[in-house]
Structure 1
Amino acid sequence: MTGRERLLNSIWNKPVDRRAVSPFIYKNFVKAFFQDPDVDVIQGTIDVYRHFGFDLMHRNINVRGDDVHVEGPNWRVIVKEQDSRGERVITTQVETPERILTQVKSVKQLTKYHSVSATVEYLIKDRTDFDQFVKYQPPVPKLALDELRRAKELIGDEGITAPWISGVFNTLADYRKLDDLLVDALTDPGFFHAMARYFQGRLLEYTREILDEGVDALSYAGNIATGTMVGPHFFQRYILELEKEVIDEIQGKGTAVLYHNCGDARSLFEVYNELGFRAYESIAEPPYGDSTLKDAIERFAEHITLLGNIDQIDFLRTATPEEVKEKGEQILTLAEKRPSFILGTTDFLEEGTPHANLFALSSSVSQN
């Protein structure tokens, strides 16, 4: 069985020759592996998965559209950057005929190869700001999908493509402050749903273009609306329908959705069953999440493939290879109750993870 067949069969609940093992390898680890910040990440990701004997699920493929910086006749974009004490501040101003919208992002370098970006000022501060999007934002631009085409050609039957898209609520949280969004839903649901439907529509336009190009799976970011942030009642009332419509359209065209929540999730398992996605990650246990694999196995619908749940923050970096192999085998034994399961991590690999531990993780599937 090829790596491609093994992963696709795992996701679509079909027989496999063995359990797949596919940790989330982000581009920072690829760069660290080659000690090169300018490494070819598309080819490099393939090489890293191959080196450790992992099943190749390629997520380092950029298919996201830039929905802010594309200019139009009534949508002028000005970007300014300033560096200060290890922090890069990016200020984006959008000028429309009526007002100026401002977004400020802070970018900090956490490690040699990994930076994080946080929005500190959001474009939509009130309803009038949102009206500017409806009135003046240019049409959804065509995506540049060269990376996806190249990745598919290089991967062949060795693995699958699974680039990232944001879910609807994650997309909303890019434009409006999270606590404001939560209050909007409760105090001004008309405003909340107008924003949600507007950005859902644009998200679907982007997604259809990706689907038309052809992709095996989409890694679907749903990590903002966590169990502790919104809870099951809020999710079911204000988020479920919006996400389900997108997921249904994606999977209706034969592409699997791998839903991602790397934080607290245990209160949402039954709600997640209603979303209907094919696969879920990453069953993060305390202190980084509130889930356990045993609980997830018992509560998730059987048609959903679970992926996880090796802790890559502490355990994978500090354990011995023997402990890693034993942990992998324990997880796979527990997961025997599931029709489909993929051994992976609770998020992307940390730079500095001992390579011996990754070989041990890969070898743990040989006994199961």
Structure 2
Amino acid sequence: MNKAIDISVLDGVIKRTIETVETSKTQIFDIAENARQHGNSLKFELHELRQEISKVIQKVDALELAYRKSRNKLVLVSRNFHMYTEEDIRVAYEEASRIQVELSIYRERENNLKRRRNDLERQLRTLEETIVRAEKLVSQMGVVLGYLTGDLSKIGEALESAKQHQLMGLKVIQAQEEERKRVAREIHDGPAQSMANVVLRSEIVERMLKNERILEAQMELHELKEMVRLSLADVRRIIFDLRPMALDDLGLVPTLQKYIQTCEERIQSSIDLVVFGVEPPLRSSVKAAIFRLVQECLNNVEKHAGATTVQVKLEFVQDSLSLVVKDDGVGFDLEKRMANGNSFGLLGMRERVQLLEGSVELQSAPGEGTKVIFQIPIKL
């Protein structure tokens, strides 16, 4: 009876904690979003300000030149006063004074504009730091929230099995949050920034059209079209990384060929795909799992191996599938890596392969590259 009461109390504490974390996560996200919107406004203002500064600087240069000429003329008139009338001398003096006053005004305006520009740039840097900190906090909140709503929400079962699965569960959630953060960062740094730039430049085009600067507006629209095209390509690449639709449309082998071609361009390594046998009709989950295994291996090659050549061998044999990924990179001490607990990537692959009732073997040594061998049964 006491045990049930304790579990009930723990469940209540966890539920209240989850609600608090969810609220805090939303508030932090709102802070980041507001900072981002304010930053876009500041960028637009900064763009306009820089254009105005450029025009003022040109005006100051022109006035300085005009002032030097007027001073020279005044000196000439003063030295040769017998050749000029009093009216000529007065006009020369007034012209030099007028230009001097105008030059002083524009110099002061230039200094004020530059101070405003420097202030905007400082504000932008502060906002960007705020956004980075807020996104980091949101990610950390996501890890905590995922952990609380996962294993710990079933407190009765967690009390019996947490010792064995708690660490792995947390690492899986961390990996999910890292993936979400990676996707969010790609969207923020790619399409989101491009769209913000499109909004900014479309406002510039609108102003150009109002001022009948048609040719400049056409050039700006041409650049806008190219920017949107590149943003669309970024979105398609992100979607492909999340879930390649070609897996269901074309099959496993063509999708791997396309992905490997993209990897070659990105990591600048030679990657060969060798296929033996004919690809049988595979379940969607199996195709997705095999694709993710190849993706994880190539990600490890990109991040850690420093390899120049990689071979991906896929072999279909009756009711089984063999997948081998081999590189000529730096390799590592497998026993030391396992002892230090730095083998989460391998653990993740093993978990994925176990779901398919398969096996995985890793072979590596310092200076001798790495070889990963997967054996997966095929259930038609």
Q: Rg: which structure is higher?
A: 2
User: Higher helix share goes to which structure?
Assistant: 2
User: Higher strand share goes to which structure?
Assistant: 1
Q: TM-score, normalised by structure 2?
A: 0.26
Structure having greater relative contact order (Cα 8 Å, sep ≥ 6): 1
Q: TM-score, normalised by structure 1?
A: 0.26
